[in-house]
């Protein structure tokens, strides 16, 4: 009787899941040991989230930042399944897919990412637009296009959340809408970019001022109507007209993860060891937004794309090590700095002793993200397009 290969099931195709799958496919597996690697995601494309904003201004195209999984995984031996996870039986080590089969696993990687919570404030779920997926970007693009083609003198946009996503969205939309735009950035705290450096805050503040974005600090959203937003500031509620509300506040784990009988923190994140294994279940690895992770030095690992990118390497190594009788490595997070887009041809970059803003930071950010695109083939295609596109525009007289 032929022995079945070990099955590694990776749930979620974001930075954590896809990069773990790609790294696992590159290890020198001996032929009898080579596992079956399955990547499951409900979408058919990987989305390079830090570049999602560039779709709004036409700087980048969908294929550049959201290549199909089938294309990225071609010739890797990784099998892609487009499906929604319906349940996980951790006792019997089985995954159930919606409208699909149930299959067993020997190693499980939980990389389902986070979701933007849309409950808690009346009107948010029905009327606000999050900005976390390709579908969100398409929805926003369609709404903006309709308003641009209308007779409206002003296009009024409220962006809730003064973190990275809110600031980046505000700058991109302000540039796109130009004189017609009336943008308002709403932050409950007393400053924007609370967790960032003073250099980034100052550059962001200047970029927002230059683009006439109004900033409401210490302001909460009471409710959202069909064409209004009600804001609470120092005990007084003010209701103002609005055409678009963007919601960039908070991240929560998926209901599937929260329902698992595993150790979790108050936010519903899974508590994991420095080797990225779930407590009491060494066959399950977790990374990215759904993981409450302290690294080998004891520092809390932030839930960012940068963290998930780094965790993927360790997750792949530790799975390989656990199947080939090698030592597992505790994760060591390296903070490589922060990059943030502040409109077309403008960005900030801090880290490794550098502080840049303006066009130089914009160029460095693009090159850094080009390097981090998931496969060499895709990097070459995108890089060539970035070089060729300006030349073609010049030749065509654009």
Tell me, yes or no, if the pTM score tops 0.75. yes
Residues 34 and 110 in one domain: yes
Q: Give the model confidence (pLDDT) of 2-47 as tens digits.
A: 568 899 999 999 999 999 999 999 998 887 778 999 999 999 999 9
Residues 142 and 205 in one domain: yes
Residues 13 and 100 in one domain: yes
Residue that terminates a domain, selected from 247, 273, 308: 247
Assess whether pLDDT exceeds 70 at residue 69: yes
First to last CA, the chain: 66
What CATH number does the domain containing 161 carry? 3.50.50.60
Residues 26 and 99 in one domain: yes
Q: Can you give the pLDDT at residue 4?
A: 80
Q: Can you give the pLDDT at residue 394?
A: 62
Residues 87 and 233 in one domain: no
User: 247, 188, 250, 184: which is closest to 217 by C-alpha?
Assistant: 188
Query: Domain span at residue 357?
Result: 339-393
Q: Give the model confidence (pLDDT) of 190-237 as tens digits.
A: 999 998 889 999 999 999 999 999 999 999 999 999 999 999 999 999
Residues 313 and 268 in one domain: yes
Residues 259 and 111 in one domain: yes
Q: How many domains does the chain have?
A: 3
User: Residue 342's pLDDT band (boundaries 50, 70, 90)?
Assistant: very high
Residues 261 and 231 in one domain: no
Q: Can you give the pLDDT at residue 130?
A: 95
Q: Exposed/middle/buried for 335, CB within 10 Å: 0-12, 13-18, 19+?
A: middle
Name the DSSP class of 316.
Answer: H
Assess whether pLDDT exceeds 90 at residue 108: yes
Q: Can you give the pLDDT at residue 397?
A: 61
**Has residue 133 been placed in a domain?**
yes
Assess whether pLDDT exceeds 90 at residue 173: yes
Residues 32 and 132 in one domain: no
Residue that terminates a domain, selected from 179, 214, 247: 247
**Has residue 55 been placed in a domain?**
no
Residues 175 and 229 in one domain: yes
Assess whether pLDDT exceeds 60 at residue 271: yes
CA triplet 209, 210, 212: central angle to 5 degrees?
60
């Amino acid at each position: 009787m032929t022995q079945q290969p070990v099955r590694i099931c990776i749930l979620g195709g974001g930075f954590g899941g896809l990069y773990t799958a790609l790294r696992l496919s590159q290890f020198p597996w001996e032929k009898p040991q080579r596992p079956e690697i399955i990547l499951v995601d409900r979408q058919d494309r990987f989305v390079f989230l830090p570049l999602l904003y560039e779709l709004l201004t036409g700087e980048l195209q969908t294929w550049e930042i959201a290549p199909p999984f089938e294309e990225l995984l071609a010739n890797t031996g990784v099998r892609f399944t487009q499906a929604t996870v319906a349940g996980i039986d951790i006792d019997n080590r089985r995954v159930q897919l919606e409208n699909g089969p149930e299959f067993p696993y020997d190693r499980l990687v939980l990389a389902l990412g986070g979701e933007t919570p849309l409950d808690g404030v009346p009107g948010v779920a029905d009327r606000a637009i999050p900005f976390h997926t390709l579908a969100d970007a398409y929805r926003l693009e369609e709404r903006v296009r309709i308003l641009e083609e209308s007779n409206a003198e002003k296009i009024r946009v409220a962006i809730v959340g003064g973190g990275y996503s809110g600031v980046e969205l505000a700058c991109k939309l302000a540039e796109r809408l130009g004189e017609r735009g009336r943008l308002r950035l709403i932050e409950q705290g007393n400053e924007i970019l609370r967790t960032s450096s003073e250099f980034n805050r100052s550059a962001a503040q200047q970029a927002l001022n230059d683009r006439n974005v109004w900033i409401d600090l210490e302001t909460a959203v009471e409710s959202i109507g069909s064409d209004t937003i009600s804001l609470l500031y120092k005990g007084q509620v003010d209701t103002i007209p609005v055409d678009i509300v963007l919601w960039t506040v908070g991240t929560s784990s998926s209901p599937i993860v929260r329902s698992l009988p595993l150790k979790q923190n108050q936010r519903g994140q899974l508590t994991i060891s420095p080797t990225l294994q779930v407590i009491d279940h060494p066959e399950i690895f977790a990374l990215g937004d759904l993981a409450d992770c302290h690294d080998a030095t004891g520092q809390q690992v932030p839930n960012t794309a940068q963290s998930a990118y780094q965790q993927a390497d360790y997750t792949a190594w530790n799975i390989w090590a656990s199947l080939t009788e090698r030592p597992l490595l505790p994760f060591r997070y390296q903070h490589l700095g922060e990059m943030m887009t502040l409109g077309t041809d403008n960005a900030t970059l801090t880290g490794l002793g550098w502080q840049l803003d303006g066009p130089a930071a914009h160029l460095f950010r693009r090159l850094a993200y080009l390097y981090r695109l998931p496969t060499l083939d895709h990097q070459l295609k995108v890089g060539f397009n970035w070089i060729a596109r300006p030349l073609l525009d010049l030749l065509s007289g654009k």
